[in-house]
Amino acid sequence: MRILVLNGPTLNMLGTREPEVYGTLTLADIEEMVRQRAAELGEVQVAFQQTNHEGELVDMILAHRDWDGLIINPGAYTHTSIALADAISACPDLVVAEVHLSNVHQREEFRHHSYVARVAWGQITGFGWRGYLAALDMIYGRLVEAGRA
C-alpha cells in the first residue's frame, strides 16, 4: 500500500510559522510521526513531498496516479486551485484525504471554501498534526476494506 503525503505552500515553515495557528512541530516532526504510525500499521509505504508551487503539486499528484492514497494539505491553494482539484479528479484510484492543521472554518471567510474538498474523499481540519495520523488511519482502513492492502 503506497501513500503520498503532499504539503503545499509555506508548510515548509511549520514550527516557526504562526505557531499559535499551526502549532510548534516542524514538517519533519510530523513526517516522523506519520512514518512511525505507518510502520505500526505494517505494509504501508509512505512518501513525503512539499513544494510551494502549484504546478509542482499538480505534477506530483499525477506522478503518483497509480498509488493507493494521498494525504494532501494544499495550504492556500486549497482555496484557489481548480488545477489541483482537476489533477485529483484525474486519479480515480487514489483515495484522497485533505488535511488542515488549523480549523479553517473558524478563520477568515476566504478559507471556508475548498476546491479540493469537492474531489477528496474527506476533509480533516483543526486537529493540528494529529490530522495527518487520522488521515493515514482513514485511508488505511478504507484500502483494507477494499482489499487493497
Residues that bind ligand DHK (CB under 6 A): 10, 73, 75-76, 78, 100-102, 104, 111
Active-site residue, selected from the candidate residues 22, 115, 132, 140: 22
Of the pair 66, 109, the CB lying nearest ligand DHK is at 109
Which residues lie closer than 8 Å to 61 by C-beta, 6 or more apart? 4, 6, 70, 72, 84, 87, 88, 91, 94
64 catalytically annotated: no
Closer to ligand DHK by Cβ: residue 18 or 137:
18
Question: In whole angstroms, what is the distance from residue 115 CA to residue 86 CA?
Answer: 9
* β-strand pairing of 95-100 with 122-125: parallel
User: Least distance to ligand DHK from the beta carbon of 12, Å?
Assistant: 11
Pick the closer one to ligand DHK by CB: 94 or 124. 124
Q: Name 48's bridge partners.
A: 5
**Annotated catalytic residue 113:** no
Smallest distance, Å, CB 103 to ligand DHK?
A: 8
Among the listed residues 64, 77, 100, 140, the single catalytic one is 100
Alpha carbon of residue 38 to chain centroid = 15
CB of 13 to ligand DHK, least distance (A): 9
Strands, sheet with 2-7, edge to edge from the N-terminal-most edge strand: 45-50, 2-7, 69-73, 95-100, 122-125
Active site residues: 22, 100
